[in-house]
C-alpha cells in the first residue's frame, strides 16, 4: 500500500529526527467502567460542547494522514460508548483506509460493547483490537472495574474473534490485586491465539487506589515468569513502550509495557489527541498544543501550523516518577484523557 501512496510532502519530524506516523485519538472521556487505577469513583465528565465533533476529528485525522500518519488508534474513555461512534469509524475507514493512505485503523476498548460492533468493525477494515482485561474472575472483575460484568466482555472478545479480528489482551499488573492471575491469563490468552501485554500501572490522575501498595514491577514479573516459561525476546517493535517476547511453551507473544524505563523514547513515533482537541506529544509530559482552537479560529491552515509547532515541542523523553509517597500522581490528568 505504501507503494501506491507517495510520501507526504511535509512529513511530521520532530527536533530529534523522529517521524510521527501514529496518532492515538481519544474520542470521549466517558466510560461505562470506573477501573480503580484509571478513574475515581465519582468522575465529572466534560460537557459535550467541549468535545470535538466527528467532523472536527475527521478534519484533524485528515491533516495527520496528509502529513504521513499511517496508523490511527481510537481510544478513550471507552471509544465504543460514544454515541454513533460507528459513523466516525466508517468515515475514517472510507476516506483513508480504503484509499490506502492509512495502513491501520484500530481501537483499544474495554470490550463491553464489542459483541454489538465486532462484525461491523471487521467489515470496515479494522484488523485487530486491543481489549483490556485484568482478571478472569467475575467478582474481581467487578471490583476492579467497579461497574463491569465479566461475561459481557468475554462475549465481546468471542465476537471479535468470530468476526476475524485479531485480539490483544492488555492486563494492568497489580500487586495484591491480580498478580496471581498473570500465569492463568497467559495460558488463557495464548490458548485462544491472543497476544497478551502486561502493563505497569502509571501514576496518572488522582485515584482512590494506593499506588504504592499495588505497584508491581514488570521486571520482577518477567523474572518470575522466566522460572516457569522460556521467554525469547523478539524483534517486534511498535515505536512504543512495549517490548515483546515469544513464550516457547505456548507459542504466543507476550508484551511488557514499562513506562518508567526510558528505552523507548528515542524511537517514539506517536502523539495523542484528547477528545477536546489537545495534542499531547508525550504520555509522560504536560506539553500540549490546542488543535481545537487552531482549527476553530484559523481553519485548516492554522491546524497545519499547529502540527509544526507540536513537532518543535515534542520532548525528548518522559519524566515519570511515582511521587515521593508513591501515591501522588506524576501528572494530574487521568489516563482516560489521553487513552493510554
* Interface residue list for ligand SAM (CB under 6 A): 31, 37-38, 75-76, 78, 108-110, 132, 170, 172, 199, 201-202, 204, 335-336, 339-340
Minimum CB–partner distance for residue 82 and ligand SF4 (Å): 12
The 14-53 contact track toward ligand SF4, x by CB under 6 A, reads: -----------------x-xxx--xx--------------
CB atoms < 10 A from the CB of 191, how many? Answer: 10
Cell of 162: 468470530
Minimum CB–partner distance for residue 308 and ligand SAM (Å): 28
8 Å CB contact between 250 and 190: yes
3 state DSSP class of 166: strand
- Site size for ligand SF4 (CB under 6 A): 12
Distance of CA 33 to the CA centre of its chain: 16
As measured in angstroms, the least distance from the Cβ of 193 to ligand SF4 is 23
What SS3 class is residue 331?
strand
Binding partner selected for residue 197 from ligand SAM, ligand SF4, none, CB under the kind-specific 5 to 8 Å limit: none
Output the CA–CA distances (angstroms, integers) from residue 122 to 43, 150, 164, 170, in the order listed: 32, 23, 7, 20
Alpha-helical (H) ranges within 229-330 are 291-313
Residue 113 touches which of ligand SF4, ligand SAM, none (Cβ within 5-8 Å per kind): none
> Distance (Å, rounded) from C-alpha 190 to C-alpha 65?
34
For 108, other C-beta atoms within 10 Å of its C-beta total 20
176 φ/ψ sector (left φ>0, alpha ψ -120 to 50, else beta) = left
Contact partner, 202, from ligand SF4, ligand SAM, none, Cβ < 5-8 Å per class: ligand SAM
* Closer residue to ligand SF4, CB minimum distance, 34 or 128: 34
CB of 43 to ligand SAM, least distance (A): 12
Nearer to ligand SF4, 88 or 209 (CB): 209
| Alpha carbon distance 175, 184 (integer Å) | 16
Q: Compute the least distance from the CB of residue 32 to ligand SF4, in Å.
A: 7
Per CB under 6 A, 132 contacts ligand SF4: yes
Q: Which does 199 bind (CB under 5 to 8 A by kind): ligand SAM, ligand SF4, none?
A: ligand SAM
Sequence length of the chain is: 340
Strands (E), the chain: 22-26, 71-75, 104-109, 128-132, 166-173, 195-200, 231-233, 242-247, 253-257, 270-273, 278-280, 288-290
Residue 207 near residue 174, CB atoms below 8 Å: no
Give the integer Cα–Cα distance in Å for 260 and 243.
Answer: 13
- Of residues 69 through 88, those in contact with ligand SF4 by CB under 6 A are 76-78
Residues of this chain, 91-120, that bind ligand SF4 according to CB under 6 A = 110
Q: How far is the CB of 329 from ligand SF4 (least distance, A)?
A: 14
Q: How far is the CB of 204 from ligand SAM (least distance, A)?
A: 5
Q: Residue 279's binding partner, choosing from ligand SF4, ligand SAM, none, with beta-carbon cut-off 5 to 8 A by kind? A: none
Q: Are the CB atoms for 241 and 261 separated by under 8 Å?
A: yes
Positions in the binding site for ligand SF4 (CB under 6 A)? 31, 33-35, 38-39, 76-78, 110, 132, 336
Amino acid at each position: 500500500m505504501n507503494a501506491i501512496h507517495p510520501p507526504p510532502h511535509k512529513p511530521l519530524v520532530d527536533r530529534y529526527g523522529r517521524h510521527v506516523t501514529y496518532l492515538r485519538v481519544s474520542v470521549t472521556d466517558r466510560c461505562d467502567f470506573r477501573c480503580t487505577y484509571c478513574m475515581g469513583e465519582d468522575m465529572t465528565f466534560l460537557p459535550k460542547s467541549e468535545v470535538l465533533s466527528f467532523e472536527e476529528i475527521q478534519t484533524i485525522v485528515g491533516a495527520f494522514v496528509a502529513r504521513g500518519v499511517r496508523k490511527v488508534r481510537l481510544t478513550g474513555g471507552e471509544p465504543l460508548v460514544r454515541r454513533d461512534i460507528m459513523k466516525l469509524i466508517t468515515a475514517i475507514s472510507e476516506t483513508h483506509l480504503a484509499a490506502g493512505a492509512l495502513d491501520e485503523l484500530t481501537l483499544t476498548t474495554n470490550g463491553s460493547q464489542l459483541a454489538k460492533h465486532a462484525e461491523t468493525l471487521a467489515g470496515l477494515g479494522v484488523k485487530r483490537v486491543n481489549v483490556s482485561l485484568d482478571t478472569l474472575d467475575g467478582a474481581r472483575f467487578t471490583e476492579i472495574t467497579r461497574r463491569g460484568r465479566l461475561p459481557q466482555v468475554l462475549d465481546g472478545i468471542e465476537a471479535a474473534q468470530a468476526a476475524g479480528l485479531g485480539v490483544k489482551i492488555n492486563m494492568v499488573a497489580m500487586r495484591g490485586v491480580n498478580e496471581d492471575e498473570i500465569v492463568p491469563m497467559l495460558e488463557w490468552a495464548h490458548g485462544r491465539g491472543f497476544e497478551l501485554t502486561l502493563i505497569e500501572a502509571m501514576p496518572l490522575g488522582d485515584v482512590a487506589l494506593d499506588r504504592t501498595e499495588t505497584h508491581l514491577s514488570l521486571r520482577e514479573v518477567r523474572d518470575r515468569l522466566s522460572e516457569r516459561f522460556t521467554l525469547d525476546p523478539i524483534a517486534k517493535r511498535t515505536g512504543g513502550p512495549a517490548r515483546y517476547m515469544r513464550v516457547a511453551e505456548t507459542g504466543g507473544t507476550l508484551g511488557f509495557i514499562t513506562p518508567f524505563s526510558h528505552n523507548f523514547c528515542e524511537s517514539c513515533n506517536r502523539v495523542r489527541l484528547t477528545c477536546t482537541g489537545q495534542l499531547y506529544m508525550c504520555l509522560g509530559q504536560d506539553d500540549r498544543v490546542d488543535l481545537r482552537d487552531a482549527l476553530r479560529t484559523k481553519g485548516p491552515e492554522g491546524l497545519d501550523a499547529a502540527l509544526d509547532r507540536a513537532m518543535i515541542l515534542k520532548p525528548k523523553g518522559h519524566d515519570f516518577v511515582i511521587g515521593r509517597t508513591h501515591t501522588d500522581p506524576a501528572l494530574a490528568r487521568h489516563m482516560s484523557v489521553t487513552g493510554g
